[in-house]
Structure 1
């Protein structure tokens, strides 16, 4: 679906917020279960500046909401964050990792590679990545799935209760936040930091960003918000590139857009860009006026409360797998883009039992390997190999037919 004009997006944002402001505010907080723990961990290690992270992610939230008109999240780059936390990266090293990924994604975007990825990756593999990411979130957050979690004020209630606990604990510990205006500074990585950041963290982040933060999130936006114009993979790619080519030089955390965050914000009620605009303004105010003094307070935020929000996001992601073999899947009734030339055929509006089984198998192979190895790239490769394995007999029969007709000569 084509992306709407700025006027249409603004009208949609204002109308949605006016009539559903409780839902939009609640939804804006849905992704904090992913954002806060990683941001806090990196800030405690002095790897990133919490104030710069809040300010720049807030700016990116606002721009995303204004120009895309959907509750697209601004999330930490998880692969980079995991390596940075484990190895106590300096701010220069994590900046180099984020900038490296941003530059690569920019090249992918302007050369059309992202559009090509979207066209050739089968829907079962994409849904497998989404379902696998959802299961990973649930597994990492606890064994008890909150399947009854439904209507939107839950995020507001959970966040408010958690904040009360954090304030009480901070008051007892004497670490309440105070006014501390942001003091911007710049980070310029050294040659060694570029090598370590790019090779040890940036390369591992690339498949995760490309598959989950760009390709999968584009499809998920279409699935969750079919009546809203969906941004293209190129637009989202340029957004990811821009955020990291700009923010990391000021000590901000490397960020991206993720399908898990979109699912979380949707789960808690967000339906337009106004939700992330609200969140962005909130981050800006807090980052400018409280800065690093927030670290102590946020450390006291109950992890169980954040876990509830993460589980809810996982549930929303897992649920998208339900539409794999229905008309809700984008490729039903469209040509299979991985069959070459005159072998391409229309899948048709109704799938046979065999086709359903094959698509389900491809998705579950993707899910199983992604969860088992805790790696999106492994799940993606496994799903693609399974998909191609199903195509080999048809390609073999086609080649055999051409050989018998004399159309193929040695």
Structure 2
């Protein structure tokens, strides 16, 4: 039996068991990335969680549907594997936020998507998946028995039909081990200082990461998400509106210690699959993130088993890789996706993106 509370004065806001399970469905890929980012950079996890909590609530109320709020995976993935420092990540996020706000305001999103080409965007996703997989192997090798045990949990739960939930189970096991080692942390409100983890640094790596991320964001977080809003929720949401809301999110959150955030079709589909139908899921998840921010102490994070973190990154990398190849239907697109991914792994994502865009343009001219 599903218990629910409905606010008649806000017709798009409900609290049901479906909204709660849907909220958890969106956190499955978000939390492992945030924990990995905090473990490998100078980012402050409490500040990051506050940003996610606030904007889950803001956009849930604004759009009235369980719109996802996710890390910008290309930028965060590059930071996790050491290609970007947190100051570079912050700079890239601010640059991306400014561009998204501008192109959304002037209605340029559709034009940019056609210029870049979907196979190139999918190739960037594949490149980040490969980089995360490489980092996962490195972390897992630090304690192979623990990594094998964590992987066994994931596989066992997947075999009985709980593949997505398995990530949360492994995350909970790691958190339990960390609490056992450090004790229960005392709740503490994050310091509201500007740029608590370091001032933004505009570098070549930050610029390359920004360009690569914008390709993914425009294709997946703006255009694909806008289409999915209509398919799943019968709600007309313009891609340019989503671009502007992502720009506002980045520009508002990053100065207070947040990370680059976006919407995403995968997170929206995940919320729907787990039962979310209204913005109530966002409110519940936002409250959960804000509560978690109070106890996400540095000592607790430092004690989190890195080998289990490697297992989590394997799962995230496989999900991201699957998303990259799922829409590919022809050999030419497949070649572009694979080529961009391999170049991104071997050199860097920025070079791969530029070369892929040139290749896409050249191939398109032959049609």
Normalised by the length of structure 1, the TM-score is 0.66
- 1:2-401 → structure 2 map (5 Å cutoff): 14=14, 17-19=16-18, 21-22=20-21, 24-42=23-41, 45=42, 49-68=44-63, 69-70=65-66, 72-75=68-71, 77-78=75-76, 81=79, 89=87, 98-142=93-137, 149=158, 151=162, 152-171=164-183, 176-186=184-194, 197-199=201-203, 202-218=206-222, 221=225, 226-228=231-233, 229=235, 231-250=237-256, 252-257=257-262, 262=267, 269=274, 275-287=281-293, 289-290=294-295, 294-320=297-323, 321-325=325-329, 356-375=330-349, 377-394=350-367
Give the whole-Å Cα distance in 2 for the aligned partners of 1:159 and 1:75. Answer: 17
- Measure how far apart 1:34 and its partner are: 0.9
Unaligned regions of 5+ residues in structure 1, if any? 1-6, 326-355, 395-410
- String of CA shifts for 1:14-39, please: whole Å, max 9, x gaps: 48x53374454254243211112223
- Which of 381-390 and 224-233 deviates more? 224-233
- String of CA shifts for 1:289-323, please: whole Å, max 9, x gaps: 44xx7111122122233333332232223223133
Give the whole-Å Cα distance in 2 for the aligned partners of 1:259 and 1:388. Answer: 26
- String of CA shifts for 1:220-276, please: whole Å, max 9, x gaps: 5478884245754423322232123222333x1332227698399669958666555
Unaligned regions of 5+ residues in structure 2, if any? 1-6, 141-147
SS at match of 2:232: coil
Alignment coverage as a number of residue pairs: 335
- Measure how far apart 1:103 and its partner are: 2.6
Give the whole-Å Cα distance in 2 for the aligned partners of 1:227 and 1:98. Answer: 29
Give the whole-Å Cα distance in 1 for the aligned partners of 2:317 and 2:275. Answer: 16
SS at match of 1:227: helix
Give the whole-Å Cα distance in 2 for the aligned partners of 1:315 and 1:79. Answer: 13
- C-alpha contact (below 8 Å) 2:70/2:267 kept by paired residues: no
- String of CA shifts for 1:44-85, please: whole Å, max 9, x gaps: x4xx55443322221012223344534523326437846999
Structure-2 change in CA distance of 1:113 and 1:308 (3 Å): same
- Which of 21-30 and 109-118 deviates more? 21-30
Normalised by the length of structure 2, the TM-score is 0.72
- String of CA shifts for 1:167-224, please: whole Å, max 9, x gaps: 10113xxxx4113334423459x9xx67xx2345642332133122332334554788
- C-alpha contact (below 8 Å) 1:109/1:238 kept by paired residues: yes
Structure-2 change in CA distance of 1:97 and 1:245 (3 Å): same
- C-alpha contact (below 8 Å) 2:19/2:276 kept by paired residues: no
**Structural RMSD (CA):** 4.1
Give the whole-Å Cα distance in 1 for the aligned partners of 2:269 and 2:33. Answer: 10
- C-alpha contact (below 8 Å) 2:246/2:261 kept by paired residues: yes
Structure-2 change in CA distance of 1:126 and 1:82 (3 Å): closer
Structure-2 change in CA distance of 1:268 and 1:362 (3 Å): same
SS at match of 2:297: helix
- Measure how far apart 1:98 and its partner are: 4.3
User: Which is greater in Rg?
Assistant: 1
Structure-2 change in CA distance of 1:217 and 1:274 (3 Å): same
- Measure how far apart 1:286 and its partner are: 3.5
